[in-house]
Amino acid sequence: MSIDEITQKVSERYARAASTGEQMCCPTSYDMRHLKAFIPEEVLKISYGCGTPAGLKTVQAGETVLDIGSGGGIDCFEASRLVGPTGHVIGIDMTDTMLEIARKHAAVVATNLGYPASNVEFRNGLADAMPVEDGTIDLIISNCVINLAPDKRKVFQEMYRVAKPGGRFTISDIVSDQIVPQYLVHDTGKWGDCLSGALTLTDYMNGMTAAGFLGIHLVKSSPWRVIDGIHFFSVTLTGYKLPPAANDSTVRYATLRGPFSRTVDERGTIYQRGISKPISPDDARLLSTPPFAEHFLLTTEPIGLGSDDPRWTAVLPAQAPCTWQGHYALLAGPFVEAADDDHHVYRRGEPLEICSKTVTVLETGGYQPHFVILNRAGDRVNGEAVTCSPNGSCC
């Protein structure tokens, strides 16, 4: 199938769903009782996606929000409430039926919110060629839509183009733990189900980094479907278009606190736990963003940080036998590579088989936000406990 054929078939599928009420993609978890207070029922019943737009929790009054694949407008209307009457919301969609429904209800939502006029506009366009001006968006949201775009590289480039310096994205989408084979890629029905177009988590996050975004990290994840041994799961990711840093930054050194023993950031900079490293003002700005901040000390002078320092963090595996239960860990940023204290090296998005002890380690606070853990065991696992090797490596 050509790109145009895929786009046309996906648009037709969603137009049909808007008319019939067919459920698309995977379940969302909207607070419908809250939304019903100001959003009409016709919009609520055609709300598709793979997660509520977590990025809206970060919205500030007066900001400009862009929703890629706005559908019937549910996320735009919630964004409208959050940015307030001085803010602005743009929804783009390629399906005329969806745009018609969204536009019809924009004035009603504005009235329900007590606004003098609607602060939402809906534009007809594609995710890989967005009708949005350069550098005008504070926050980009999208709910299970980018996987429907045949050329995701262009989508990520477009996102970076329209974001303001200092802007950010928080998007939910479906990804896979391995490359989707051609027999699924050419299954038009599964494109509409948010399956055939899914990238691996590695390719998805690397595509965003290649476009220019930094600090890309996991907000939440949940399983979706398993088809022919391929795990499809929902992820919500956030990343930043960082502005240039001021040259007079007082921060000169960064020291990794842990719990990772070593990390590599998206610029390729390697940090070893406890060892101060000279950094640039741009590095300091990146390491000050939320996904990095808790892991680093930023100082004007180098510091010595040892395991007896309360600022040092580590999570050691239990000194006991472990079992293999079918678990795999996928690092989901903000580092492209990281190592723990049990000789595992995690590379962003790449599944790594782990034992029961490592599962326990990765479920602790310092690690848990950065990992997706899947279980590939098709049946109940009854393996006997095994003892770690003499060098301390279990997996």
CATH code of the domain occupying 247-314? 3.40.5
Q: pLDDT of 233-277, one tens digit each?
A: 999 999 999 998 777 678 899 999 999 999 999 999 999 999 999
List the single range of 30-34, 105-109, 251-255 with lowest mean pLDDT.
Answer: 30-34
Q: pLDDT of 272-296, one tens digit each?
A: 999 999 999 999 999 999 999 999 9
pLDDT at 265: 96
Please state the rounded mean pLDDT for residues 3-16: 49
Q: Does pLDDT of 4 surpass 90?
A: no
* Domains of the chain, residue spans: 3-240, 247-314, 319-395
CATH code of the domain occupying 319-395? 3.40.5.100
Structure tokens at 140: 């980009």
Please state the rounded mean pLDDT for residues 5-10: 50
Q: Does pLDDT of 368 surpass 50?
A: yes
The domain defined by 3-240 carries CATH number 3.90.1150.10 = no
* Per-residue pLDDT band at 333 (split at 50, 70, 90): confident
The answer to whether the 3-240 and 247-314 domains have the same CATH topology is no
**pLDDT mean across residues, the chain:** 87
* Per-residue pLDDT band at 27 (split at 50, 70, 90): very low
More confident residue, 144 or 277: 277
Please state the rounded mean pLDDT for residues 161-190: 90
